[in-house]
Structure formats: structure tokens, C-alpha cells
Amino acid sequence: MLDFFFPKVRIVAEIGINHNGKLENALELIKICKDAGCDYVKFQKREPDICVPEKQKNVIKENTPWGKITYLDYKKRIEFGDIEYDTIYEYCKELNIKCFASVWDKPSVNFMTKYTTIAKIPSAKITDIELCKYAREKFKTLIISTGMSTEAEVITCIKECNPDVIMHTNSTYPCPVENLNLNYITYLKDQYCPKEIGYSGHEFGLVTTFATIPLGVTWVERHVTLDRNMWGSDQLSSIEPIGIEKLVKGIRDIEKATMYPAQSRIQFMKELEKRDILRG
């Protein structure tokens, strides 16, 4: 029997805000993700004045790269605009890697439609049904993440905006493995077939992310960073350059190892050669 292999899982490396507002960091991460074999890089797009909760805006953040500043100012300093995204998308086009973003508000939806036909509603915003519906109208492919939500909130979001991809997520950064509840992936597959089910992981290590592949996910997302010791809220739950290489290789190996359907036993050529030697 001839071997064949067609990758099924789309691998998303979330750069998010791990660039810390520096375009050079973002471009370096894009190159790393392309070299590792990722299908997509993803950023986060928001208008801080709109999407930062009022009670958070004046909270003081200590020891930031910019000193002692408010939470709102911090969010503004790490936000990219037209100049940065023009450069990012030109670079992605040059490298032939796809790019999209999580959109946190309507102006961000409008902004990203200039660049892409795919977007994600982050876990924090799936209860904003008006935003979810608006994004559904604007993008060909819409992804949602289920983190921090009740089952009722997940059901409502799916009913109202009909996403193409539903990602199981636990929004603890980093997430203890005993809280990952990976069997929820099977539940989502059963409930929402034929929608695509994905996994967005925030845990330490890769083993539990690999475990989602035989469960049937077709999208996997992990945060990526240049260095987990860098300043920033998402760095510690991210994977470093060597980790993203291992992630891609591991997923592709698992796909190859599980590419044949459940059926009677197959004897492969190399095994037949060994059979001839040992059994005569």
C-alpha cells in the first residue's frame, strides 16, 4: 500500500501582544513561525478606549517597559496601527504565511477587513453578541474561543453568529493540566458537527496539545514568544522558537501516524521485508 499524507490541522501561532509594541519583534516572530511550518500567525486588534473595561482603565501597572503607567496607556502602547500592519502583511505575503487577528471591537473589525477575510472573536468577547454578529457579516471565516464562558454563553454565541470554527479554550494563563478538560473537544464535535473544532492552549509544555489531534481538532493555536522571560502578561503561557518547531513537527507526525481509517490490519512494505527475514 502506498503511503500518502495531507495535513489536516491548521496550526496558528499567536503572536498576540507578545511583541510588546515593537514591530521588529513581530517580524522576527513571523519569520520564526514560517520557518517552523505554521499555517498562520495571529495578532490581537483592539481600540483600547472602547474595549478596556472602565474599572480597569486607571489601574496602575508597575514595572512596565515604559515605567509606571495606567492599564489603558499600557494597552495603547502595545497596539499596532496602519503603518505596522501594512508592514506585517507585506512581510507575510513575502514569506507566504497567512495572517489574521482576534478582533475586540467593531472598529477593529473594520480595520482588519482591509487585510484579511478571517478573524477570531477572543474568549473575553464572545458574550458581546453585537460584536460577534458584526464580525460574522464582515469575515468569510469566523473563529470563536470558549474560554471563561458558561455552556449557556457558548450556546448563545454559536446560535447568534454561526462561527465556522469553535475552539476549546481554558483562559487560565498558564493553565494547570488538570483543568484542561480535553474531552470537551469530543462534546463540541458531537454537538456541532459538521463545524470545525479547534484547540487554543495556554498550558506549559506540548504533550497535552498533541493529545488533541487524535480527538479530532482541525485547528490548533498556541501563543509564541521570543523569550518566556520577557515582560508581558502572555509570555509565560507561550512557547519559545524551539517549542514552535516541536509543536509543528509533533502535530504533523501524529497526523501521519493516524492517517489511515480504522480497518483491518495493514502490512507495510518495510514490515513485509522484516517478516521475510524473521519468518522466512
Residue 1, pLDDT above cutoff 60: no
pLDDT at 6: 67
Share of the chain above pLDDT 90, in %: 95
Share of the chain above pLDDT 70, in %: 98
Q: What is the pLDDT of residues 18-29, one digit of tens each?
A: 999 999 999 999
Q: In whole angstroms, what is the distance from residue 89 CA to residue 116 CA?
A: 9
Strands 60-64 and 10-16: unpaired
pLDDT at 7: 74
Residue 129, pLDDT above cutoff 90: yes
Residue 4, pLDDT above cutoff 90: no
State the pTM of this model: 0.94
pLDDT at 104: 98
**C-alpha angle 214-172-120 in degrees, rounded to nearest 5:** 70
Q: Where exactly are the structural domains of the chain? A: 10-259
Mean pLDDT throughout 207-228? 97
* CA-closest candidate to residue 201, choices 216, 181, 186: 181
Strands 60-64 and 67-70: antiparallel
Mean pLDDT throughout 199-224? 97
pLDDT confidence tier of residue 280, bands split at 50, 70 and 90: confident
Residue 3, pLDDT above cutoff 80: no
94 vs 8, more confident? 94
Residue 95, pLDDT above cutoff 50: yes
Mean pLDDT throughout 136-140? 98
Q: Quick one: fold of 10-259?
A: TIM Barrel (3.20.20)
Q: What is the mean pLDDT of the chain?
A: 96
Residue 2, pLDDT above cutoff 80: no
Residues β-bridged to residue 219: 10, 198
